């Protein structure tokens, strides 16, 4: 299979492998950053956690972007102490943000160390002032979750800008996530999906199964060939 039909997708791009995917999405981010800065003077970028986004960030740091005009946010965060190696903001700092000329005040970490409810309320107050976001980067889990919106979890159907997540099926059970409406309101959404482990969930989305990731509308999906269902 060289292509796949994903309901609600704006476009689907299939890349040779995870490395090509990471490079292509990094280039796409740089293009959209330039467009947003030219149009509005700022680029509001939401970063994702995960191995495939990490590869993308390592390439993005070598591209020409006016980082002084980029405001960075996060799609979700684990409720762990600040600086913990398992936090998404730690990964993004190590892979990207520590290597580019972005002012520290332009990096808006989710204060997940405060606990899910307080962190969600604080981050919602921040996002109220900047919405809509320009670009949200997203991954997908083998269960169809995206950000920290898991199938069947009450947070997934919440209309709040930012939602506290409890009883997540993956550790840690307490998290903070942008709400589905916040994701959908972004000007641009990009999924990065790599590896044979994603074949089953992509087949389910293609067949119309209602999963959190499939509720994100008008997104670009960037896949590698290994992720395509056989």
Can you tell me whether residue 21 is helix, strand or coil? helix
- Quote the CA–CA distance of 67 and 102 in Å, as a whole number: 5
| Tokens matching residue 220 | 């670009």
- The mean per-residue pLDDT over the stretch 163-169 comes to 97
Rounded mean pLDDT, 78-101 = 98
> Domains in the chain: how many in total?
1
Does residue 1 surpass a pLDDT of 70?
no
Asked whether residue 2 is assigned to any structural domain, the reply reads: no
> pLDDT tens-digit profile of 172-220?
999 999 999 999 999 999 999 999 999 999 999 999 999 999 999 999 9
Q: What average pLDDT does the structure give for the chain?
A: 96
CATH number where 114 lies: 3.40.50.1360
Task: Report if residue 111 sits inside a domain.
Answer: yes
Range of 75's domain? 9-227
* 189 secondary structure, DSSP code: E
Specify if 30 maps to a domain: yes
Note the pLDDT tens digit of each residue in 133-162: 999 999 999 999 999 999 999 999 999 999
Residue 77 lies in a domain: yes
For 39, the token pair is 């149009």
In a domain, 121, yes or no: yes
CB atoms within 10 A of CB 21: 25
Q: Other C-beta atoms within 10 Å of 8: how many?
A: 14
Which pLDDT score, from 0 to 100, does residue 230 have? 82
Q: 179-191 pLDDT, tens per residue?
A: 999 999 999 999 9
Band of the pLDDT at 3, cuts 50, 70, 90? confident
In a domain, 3, yes or no: no
Task: Break the chain down into helix, strand, coil percent, rounded to 5.
Answer: 40, 20, 40
pLDDT (0 to 100) of residue 67: 98
């Amino acid at each position: 299979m060289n292509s796949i039909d994903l309901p609600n997708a704006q476009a689907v791009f299939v890349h040779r492998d995870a490395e090509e995917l990471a490079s292509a999405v990094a280039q796409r981010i740089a293009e959209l950053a330039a467009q947003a800065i030219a149009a509005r003077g700022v680029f509001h970028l939401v970063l994702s956690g995960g191995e495939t986004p990490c590869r993308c960030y390592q390439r993005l740091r070598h591209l020409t972007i006016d980082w002084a005009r980029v405001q960075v946010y996060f799609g979700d965060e684990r409720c762990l102490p600040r600086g913990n190696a398992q936090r998404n903001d730690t990964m993004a700092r190590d892979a990207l943000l520590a290597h580019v000329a972005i002012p520290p005040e332009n990096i808006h970490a989710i204060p997940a160390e405060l606990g899910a409810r307080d962190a969600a309320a604080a981050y919602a107050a921040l996002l109220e002032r900047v919405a809509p976001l320009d670009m949200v980067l997203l991954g997908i889990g083998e269960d169809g979750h995206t950000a920290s919106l898991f199938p069947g979890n009450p947070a997934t159907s919440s209309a709040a800008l930012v939602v506290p997540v409890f009883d997540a099926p993956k550790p840690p059970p307490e998290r903070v996530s942008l709400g589905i409406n916040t994701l959908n309101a972004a000007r641009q959404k990009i999924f990065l999906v790599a590896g044979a482990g994603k074949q089953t969930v992509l087949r389910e989305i293609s067949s119309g199964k209602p999963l959190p990731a499939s509720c994100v509308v008008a997104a670009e999906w960037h896949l590698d060939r290994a992720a395509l269902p056989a």
